[in-house]
Amino acid sequence: DAKTTQPPSMDCAEGRAANLPCNHSTISGNEYVYWYRQIHSQGPQYIIHGLKNNETNEMASLIITEDRKSSTLILPHATLRDTAVYYCIEDNNNDMRFGAGTRLTVKP
Amino acid sequence: DVKVTQSSRYLVKRTGEKVFLECVQDMDHENMFWYRQDPGLGLRLIYFSYDVKMKEKGDIPEGYSVSREKKERFSLILESASTNQTSMYLCASSLMREQYFGPGTRLTVT
């Protein structure tokens, strides 16, 4: 079973920041937090990952709380093409468990 | 870019048939994975492999087997397909931690 908790759905206005939360209260010290997304009819796509520090890449930013029990994925300027299911996963040596994720709908 | 390809996007098989789902990656990745995805259940890990001829069971291996004879190819085998194996099957590969997924095979067993 997945070890993370995410809201089932969220809406975001096009051009605004999308902030997707994730709780991972049982995460252990050597487990990374990974984010993937899945656009309809495609395989999941890797977005970003982190251990303790906040991370940023060309797709998104990842903010991890100091106690590492939760994190937030930020899409700074959401577009319609960002509509997808977003998965937050704890990963320890490739032992990943995908939950149901958050269905993000970006609206014009 | 990493490319993971799966042999078919859509497949229809009859109950009791032996089914082979093929997955090929072109980035020399050590690790390969098979998942199935069903509505309301998310992705569930069936089998994975860390090296040629090595395999490990995931969460739901029953009714499936795998073969990894070459590094780039990881096959999922349904020895005797059943209707409850109707699903979307996703293959992935990884070198370190981030996994790269193929487009998926939607298998229907009638």
Q: What is the pLDDT of residue A94?
A: 58
- Nearest CA-CA distance, residue A54 and chain B, Å: 17
For residue A20, the model assigns a pLDDT of: 97
Instruction: Tell me what the mean pLDDT of segment B20-46 comes to.
Output: 92
Alpha-carbon span A85 to B102, nearest angstrom: 16
| pLDDT on residue A1 | 59
C-alpha A88/C-alpha A84 separation (Å) is: 13
Q: Find chain B residues with C-beta within 8 A of A102's C-beta.
A: none
Whether residue B16 contacts residue B5, with contact meaning beta carbons closer than 8 Å, is answered with: no
Beta strand pairing call for B10-13 and B105-109: parallel
Strand partners, B40: none
Residues of A in contact with B35 (CB under 8 A): 98
Lowest mean pLDDT among A25-39, A49-63, A65-79, B22-36: A25-39
